[in-house]
């Protein structure tokens, strides 16, 4: 194969040309939009495809010594040569994709964190729930009267699940039935305690480990933006517009990420406070792990029983 006529893998070339057909603009315009990080010209799907079809090291090696007329090359080869003019082009495309998704990511993570924070505060602040918990403790001590367990000063949160598992002898009546009947008779105003906990069900459905990973992904993504901005200082004129646009984005987004990190820390403290409120060890229920999610789920199930 001569340097004047390099050829790509046929399937790879065809797939690249199909991708370029969907973008529907000259290569020069596409590159200008990409380096300007202009999401009014290129959308998230198009940028993801650009990342997917960046030339590999082997493909760049094949093309780097080409000295012939570019017009004699296929669209795939011309596309690769255009990308090769820009140092670390794949990194720049990834930064572009991050920028496009940034505000949506920030908004979604913030919304979910606030939902968890609200659920924690509602659980701690519900006086009705506190009275119901005291009634559960009283029932437990009455049932265990005469035993060491009959003088308990508290109970584990997961013990609530036993309210529907423990039944009277030869009866379909559970402790939950007994509790509800007792409350309906002497304190009916407590039965609508779920109205104090409007955020609980939504919070219990969130995968908190995934939420923690999403928050970290935003932080790490911004770190990569900073790294690429620093690296691009030595790119020369080809990255002038990219550097200018990226610096503006970094100036604006830095405050958003710092605020999100502060909110995440605040929610973590609220989660720890909730664990302590229920007499649990916060170390066993870290916010970002499944144990804390299980705690919210237990409370949510309990509310639905009522």
pLDDT digits (tens, 9 = 90+) for 89-116: 999 999 999 999 999 999 999 999 999 9
- Which domain, by its residues, includes 207? 98-121+198-305
Q: Is residue 5 part of a domain?
A: no
76 lies in the same domain as 158: no
Quote the CA–CA distance of 197 and 242 in Å, as a whole number: 48
28 lies in the same domain as 166: no
State how many domains the chain has: 3
32 lies in the same domain as 175: no
pLDDT, residue 174, reads 78
56 lies in the same domain as 144: no
Strands (E), the chain: none
236 lies in the same domain as 138: no
- For residues 62-68, average pLDDT: 83
2 pLDDT band, cuts 50/70/90, is very low
64 lies in the same domain as 211: no
- For residues 30-57, average pLDDT: 96
The domain boundary, picked from 158, 178, 196, lies at 196
pLDDT, residue 6, reads 65
190 lies in the same domain as 236: no
Q: Is residue 166 part of a domain?
A: yes
Quote the CA–CA distance of 85 and 289 in Å, as a whole number: 45
- Asked whether the beta carbons of 160 and 136 are under 8 A apart, the reply is yes
Least confident stretch, 202-211, 239-248, 286-295: 286-295
In 3-state terms, what secondary structure has residue 173? coil
The domain boundary, picked from 136, 168, 196, lies at 196
In 3-state terms, what secondary structure has residue 174? strand
111 lies in the same domain as 68: no
Question: How confident is the model over 123-151, as pLDDT tens digits?
Answer: 999 999 899 888 888 887 887 776 776 67
Q: Is residue 1 part of a domain?
A: no
35 lies in the same domain as 114: no
The number of residues making up the chain comes to 306
Q: What is the mean pLDDT of the chain?
A: 87
Q: Write out the DSSP string of 64-87.
A: TT--S-GGGS-HHHHHHHHHTTST
171 lies in the same domain as 298: no
Q: Is residue 2 part of a domain?
A: no
pLDDT over 90 percentage in the chain? 54
132 lies in the same domain as 155: yes
| 136, 266, 284 from 152: Cα distances, Å | 11, 33, 22
183 lies in the same domain as 228: no
Q: Is residue 49 part of a domain?
A: yes
In 3-state terms, what secondary structure has residue 126? coil
Using the 8-state DSSP alphabet, how is residue 40 labeled?
A: T
Given a cut of 70, is residue 217 above it in pLDDT?
yes
Q: Is residue 90 part of a domain?
A: no
């Amino acid at each position: 194969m001569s340097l004047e006529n390099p050829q790509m893998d046929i399937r790879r070339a065809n797939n690249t040309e199909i991708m370029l057909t969907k973008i529907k603009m000259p290569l020069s315009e596409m590159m200008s939009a990409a380096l300007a990080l202009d999401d009014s010209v290129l959308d998230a799907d198009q940028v993801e495809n650009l990342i997917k079809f960046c030339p590999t090291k082997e493909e760049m090696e094949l093309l780097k010594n080409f000295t012939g007329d570019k017009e004699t090359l296929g669209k795939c080869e011309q596309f690769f040569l255009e990308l090769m003019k820009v140092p670390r082009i794949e990194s720049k495309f990834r930064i572009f994709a991050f920028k496009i998704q940034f505000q949506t990511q920030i908004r979604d993570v913030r919304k979910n964190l606030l939902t968890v924070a609200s659920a924690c505060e509602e659980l701690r602040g519900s006086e009705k729930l506190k009275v119901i918990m005291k009634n559960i403790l009283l029932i437990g001590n009455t049932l265990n009267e005469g035993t060491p367990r009959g003088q308990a000063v508290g109970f584990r949160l997961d013990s609530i699940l036993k309210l529907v598992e423990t039944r009277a002898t030869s009866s379909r009546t559970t402790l939950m039935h007994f509790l509800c009947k007792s409350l309906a008779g002497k304190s009916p105003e407590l039965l609508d305690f779920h109205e104090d906990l409007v955020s609980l069900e939504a919070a219990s459905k969130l995968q908190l480990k995934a939420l923690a990973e999403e928050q970290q992904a935003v932080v790490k993504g911004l770190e990569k933006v900073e790294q690429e901005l620093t690296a691009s200082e030595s790119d020369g004129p080809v990255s002038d517009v990219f550097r200018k646009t990226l610096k503006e984005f970094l100036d604006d987004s830095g405050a958003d990420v710092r605020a999100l990190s502060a909110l995440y820390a605040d929610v973590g403290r609220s989660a720890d406070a909730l664990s302590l409120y229920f007499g649990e060890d916060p170390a066993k229920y870290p916010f970002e792990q499944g144990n804390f999610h299980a705690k919210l789920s237990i409370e949510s199930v309990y509310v639905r029983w009522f």
